[in-house]
Structure 1
């Protein structure tokens, strides 16, 4: 499996840049570009990343600005589909890895589609039950993105009702997973528009770190909803994130490369903290009983593009 870039202090950013280069220049990604008839970009790392961004926009962008569930599925022949999955495995987007450390300052669950909200919170709870030590808080990060009808049905089938937004689903997942009735503290701002509004709900659970469910505003509210980097940056403003702190992020395996690099840019670079990112292990009992959509070759190609773009943005920030 190709290693992801490591978080290091900004003064030694060359190590992170080298990690970006190793991932981007890996044989699986080169093979994937060749599979779609592409020529490998020339020049320095910035030029290669720009070339791969442009290439992936032409060949692997099936969203075209839409939300992930609305992306079209490409019609790939069996050989190309197999190579797309093989590349995804090698690039760390399929098989989950356990946390690298037994102890972290903070455990952060990233939001997503409704089924992902349930699965990721359940996996975070599973990690805590199995002895992962967290000295700070369990943070569950999302936004006021409206849920689709399909997402509401998914939640209802799992026994979760009354959710209209992503942060509603995350909050319900916390109450459902940890068997708590309501938050012990609440804060927020209702700005009259979901792109400007934010909220924070904190749960105090015996024997567990404090659990904070946070909905972030968008950093570009006139253009879009809050995305992953917005939620990470907003959370960092709500905790005493110190240099040397180790943060563990939980997401789905397919999103590990791109969300890890987002976290390096939004957390590690400005705050000097360490970041590890893990995908949910679907074999864990509390996770296996929750719904999960089938991942397709098109989805893997789309998120390979997301990883390239995230690494390009990280490289720019470091340079």
Structure 2
């Protein structure tokens, strides 16, 4: 397996649909993806990107979906051969899902912190505060985006262990993280911070997901073409959440999107980082494939032959 990282579709403002489609094709045809598929007995067809994405979606549903519609902490861990487990972790590294990277620009108009499990809410808000203290300039508002997903008992117990006892939902945990990281709703000096609870676009089926929170936030602010948006998440989620942000913010609003994973050594979060297993990485490779499939479909509607 080559040692170079596989680039994600560019988040540059005004990126042509054909370029996004070509970069998606490069990612799904990359050596790490193909070697993962081969390790699980698959042989990707030589076909157009849209058809390959559909094939990969189906393949990953059969081999890498350990959630079965459940929340991520409830996913089962597969019993993998040690050699395959090592291959999975190395592929994840080359796909940009393991190592944290700093923001590539010094100035952004907007910074959004994506919610998640309770420990992630504290870690990501803590990292956002670190970035501001370290000199990152945000000319607009910092927004922490979450859903009304009820916290599990384990999440509530973890928060209670550090003295946080009034959190019932994900957005409550984000709010606690903001107050802990920034001291109030406004860092000093720095931009104001807002915590938003997004509704689901399909409330009878599921809670709000990443794209829902990004769309909801976009409806609360005034986005202009060329605005730079920094998305803060965990490294394991960077590929799929970056593609979601391009689809929901970059393409319709003409924004530039950079997505970075938290460096846990700089986040000043009191809760321990869960161990990321090969099964977790495979699950999020599947998430990236599905997000890229949706993004590819949206840009192919602009250029039908992409």
Residue pair 2:11, 2:256 contacting (<8 A) in 1 also = yes
Alignment partner, residue 103 of structure 1: 107
Shift of 1:77: 1.1
Decide whether aligned partners of structure 1 residues 210 and 285 sit closer, same or farther in structure 2, where only a CA change above 3 A counts: closer
Alignment partner, residue 74 of structure 1: 78
Determine if the alignment matches structure 1 residue 315 to structure 2 residue 296: yes
Residue pair 2:229, 2:255 contacting (<8 A) in 1 also = yes
Alignment partner, residue 93 of structure 1: 97
Shift of 1:10: 5.7
Alignment partner, residue 155 of structure 1: 159
Decide whether aligned partners of structure 1 residues 244 and 85 sit closer, same or farther in structure 2, where only a CA change above 3 A counts: same
1:236-275 map, 5 Å? 236-275=218-257
SS of alignment partner, residue 248 of structure 1: strand
Alignment partner, residue 275 of structure 2: 294
What is the distance in 2 between the residues matched to 1:253 and 1:178? 22
What is the distance in 2 between the residues matched to 1:172 and 1:208? 19
Decide whether aligned partners of structure 1 residues 279 and 285 sit closer, same or farther in structure 2, where only a CA change above 3 A counts: closer
Decide whether aligned partners of structure 1 residues 235 and 81 sit closer, same or farther in structure 2, where only a CA change above 3 A counts: same
Residue pair 2:66, 2:279 contacting (<8 A) in 1 also = yes
Task: Kindly provide the CA deviation profile for residues 196-234 of structure 1, in whole angstroms up to 9, marking residues without a partner as x.
Answer: xxxxxxx34431201010000011112111111000000
Q: Bigger relative contact order, structure 1 or 2, given CA contacts below 8 A and separation 6+?
A: 2
Residue pair 1:41, 1:52 contacting (<8 A) in 2 also = no
Shift of 1:41: 2.3
Decide whether aligned partners of structure 1 residues 39 and 113 sit closer, same or farther in structure 2, where only a CA change above 3 A counts: same
TM-score normalized by the length of structure 2 = 0.94
1:54-65 map, 5 Å? 54-65=58-69
Decide which moves more: 16-25 or 253-262: 16-25
What is the distance in 1 between the residues matched to 2:114 and 2:138? 16
Determine if the alignment matches structure 1 residue 276 to structure 2 residue 258: yes
Decide whether aligned partners of structure 1 residues 113 and 11 sit closer, same or farther in structure 2, where only a CA change above 3 A counts: closer
Residue pair 1:24, 1:308 contacting (<8 A) in 2 also = yes
Decide whether aligned partners of structure 1 residues 11 and 205 sit closer, same or farther in structure 2, where only a CA change above 3 A counts: closer
Alignment partner, residue 140 of structure 1: 144
What is the distance in 2 between the residues matched to 1:11 and 1:31? 29
Residue pair 1:251, 1:278 contacting (<8 A) in 2 also = yes
What is the distance in 1 between the residues matched to 2:46 and 2:188? 56
What is the distance in 2 between the residues matched to 1:205 and 1:102? 18
Give the superposed CA RMSD: 1.2
TM-score normalized by the length of structure 1 = 0.90
Decide whether aligned partners of structure 1 residues 312 and 252 sit closer, same or farther in structure 2, where only a CA change above 3 A counts: same
SS of alignment partner, residue 194 of structure 2: strand
**Runs ≥4 in structure 1, deviation > 4 angstroms?**
8-11
Decide whether aligned partners of structure 1 residues 294 and 34 sit closer, same or farther in structure 2, where only a CA change above 3 A counts: same
- Structure 2 residues without counterparts, runs of 5 or longer: 301-306
What is the distance in 1 between the residues matched to 2:131 and 2:297? 34
Shift of 1:136: 0.6
Alignment partner, residue 180 of structure 2: 176
Determine if the alignment matches structure 1 residue 7 to structure 2 residue 11: yes
Residue pair 1:170, 1:213 contacting (<8 A) in 2 also = yes
Determine if the alignment matches structure 1 residue 30 to structure 2 residue 34: yes
SS of alignment partner, residue 23 of structure 2: helix
Decide whether aligned partners of structure 1 residues 308 and 285 sit closer, same or farther in structure 2, where only a CA change above 3 A counts: closer
What is the distance in 2 between the residues matched to 1:137 and 1:270? 20
Alignment partner, residue 215 of structure 2: 233
